[in-house]
Chain A
Amino acid sequence: MSAIYVARSKSVAARMLGDQMMIMSAKDSTLFDLNDTASAIWQAADGQTPLEEIVEREVCANFEVKPEEAMEDAKAFVHELAGHGIMVVSDRPISEAEAQAKMRINVEESAKAEESVKAQDGKKSEGPK
């Protein structure tokens, strides 16, 4: 299994509220509440440490969970956050500059996709008045 590297986007707003992390997507202002294990992964996502190591160190060492299950949950979590443009996932270590560049591309692609959908919707609604 190849390693997975994860990095936080610097362009998102994140705040610890009590024992929960709240993150706002820069892409669409969606808010995410992270539980304690997800918060631990988020905070450790430095782009340089493999996800497996983060899970072992931050999740398995602190929470009663099987390593395989924890890793599966972690992978699903990081890919979900990546889908919302607030985390970068790669099979290679990610530098800060790369994280920002990839984030910009993701956001721009997403914006283009939204525009395209809007344009399609607009075309669909056009017709005899």
Chain B
Amino acid sequence: MGAIAMPRDSRLGRAGMACPLETTIEIGGMPILVRTENPEFFEILGRRYGGFVNAAAKALFEFNVEIVPAGAVTRQSDAEEVGVNFSAGRWTLERGDFHAEWEPAARVGRIRQAANPYAIDSAMRILHSLLLAKQGGMLVHASSAIRNGRAFLFAGVSGAGKTTMMRLAPPDATLLTDEISYVRPSEAADAAESGYLAYGTPFAGDLAEPGENVSAPVGEIYLLAQGKENKIEAVSETTAVRAVMEGVLFFAKDPELVGHVFESVCELVKRVPVRRLTFMPDARVWELIG
């Protein structure tokens, strides 16, 4: 249990907020309204998520962000460890620098953090990972880009070359992300044969550049490896599942949800070709893509 205690007598809604500033941030087609009364933080939100603001969208959830002085949010356990737990209809998300609560049924949540983009970014990733888990989608450690109308994902651990692949991308490629790819099934006609769409995200890695707020059907997923030549090789389904599972961002330990994620990855691998991409690195690797 963290050191932060939320008022038990109030719902997580907007009660008590004076002069709130609001913005609706839509990532992966899921609009979430974020409300704060702190102008400095509101500006941070604008800079961080500007390309993903959709004022016209009807929000699925509303989050009130309470800004507290840096260091005021502390957690007794490991500060870097993310805690995600569900109890009595409420998710609790916490790390050393933020504490959040979210009631899916009431469609409201609350985040307590300092005025910086890192905590809200982490809370957003966790929130989206939970939303996606029930929809057969996922956030995965992979860069992604659209080329010739299809999205290509490049999965790998830190240092595998996710950002490098985006730096080497030709001008006709549209950046979706160099760090965290957003994938979910879609019955829409534009999901094409794979049935999955990849969305641009503001979650940037070393490139420090948000992706474009667009989506495209997932064409292929590449497992990155660096080598002395550019080549694409087949991998077995079990290798593909294992590799994608290792890259999925999922913080909750709920066995049922973890099982959902496993099933989702198996389904993704069944429908989307997964191959190993060895590259030098060299811009010519993109001759193999798209």
Q: Which residues of A contact B (CB under 8 A)?
A: 11-13, 15, 17-18, 20, 22, 24, 26, 29, 31, 33
Are B236 and A18 in contact, CB atoms less than 8 angstroms apart? yes
A18: chain B residues at CB < 8 Å are: 236-238
Are B266 and A17 in contact, CB atoms less than 8 angstroms apart? yes
Are A26 and B259 in contact, CB atoms less than 8 angstroms apart? yes
**Number of B residues contacting the other chain (C-beta, 8 Å)?**
13
Assess A17 versus B238: contact at CB under 8 Å? Given A22-B266, A31-B245.
yes
Q: Can you add 6 more A-B contacts, CB < 8 Å, to A20-B237, A29-B258? A: A15-B266, A17-B236, A18-B236, A18-B238, A22-B242, A22-B266
B269: chain A residues at CB < 8 Å are: 17
A122 to chain B, nearest CB (A): 10
A12: chain B residues at CB < 8 Å are: 259
Residue of A nearest to B266 (CB): A15
Most A CB atoms within 10 A — which of B242, B258, B269?
A: B258
Q: How far is the CA of A33 from the CA of B259 in the complex (A)?
A: 16
B245: chain A residues at CB < 8 Å are: 24, 31
A31: chain B residues at CB < 8 Å are: 241-242, 245
Are B241 and A17 in contact, CB atoms less than 8 angstroms apart? yes
Assess A15 versus B263: contact at CB under 8 Å? Given A20-B238, A22-B241, A31-B242.
yes
Bitwise interface map of B from 211 to 244 toward A, beta carbon under 8 Å scored 1, else 0: 0000000000000000000000000111001100
Q: How far is the CA of A20 from the CA of B238 in the complex (A)?
A: 8
Bitwise interface map of B from 254 to 271 toward A, beta carbon under 8 Å scored 1, else 0: 010011001100100100
Are B258 and A26 in contact, CB atoms less than 8 angstroms apart? yes
Q: How far is the CA of A20 from the CA of B235 in the complex (A)?
A: 14
Are B238 and A33 in contact, CB atoms less than 8 angstroms apart? yes
Are A13 and B238 in contact, CB atoms less than 8 angstroms apart? no
A13: chain B residues at CB < 8 Å are: 258-259, 262-263
Q: How far is the CA of A13 from the CA of B255 in the complex (A)?
A: 9
What are 14 residue pairs bridging A and B, where the CB atoms are less than 8 Å apart in the complex? A11-B255, A12-B259, A13-B259, A13-B263, A15-B266, A17-B237, A17-B266, A17-B269, A18-B238, A22-B242, A24-B262, A26-B259, A31-B245, A33-B238
B259: chain A residues at CB < 8 Å are: 11-13, 24, 26
Per CB-CB distance, the 6 closest pairs between chain A and chain B, nearest first, are A17-B237, A13-B259, A26-B255, A13-B262, A15-B266, A24-B262
Residue of A nearest to B242 (CB): A31
Interface hits, B16-41 → A, CB 8 Å: none
B242 to chain A, nearest CB (A): 6
Are A15 and B262 in contact, CB atoms less than 8 angstroms apart? yes
Contact of A24 among B236, B237, B258 (CB under 8 A): B258
Q: How far is the CA of A80 from the CA of B42 in the complex (A)?
A: 53
B237: chain A residues at CB < 8 Å are: 17-18, 20
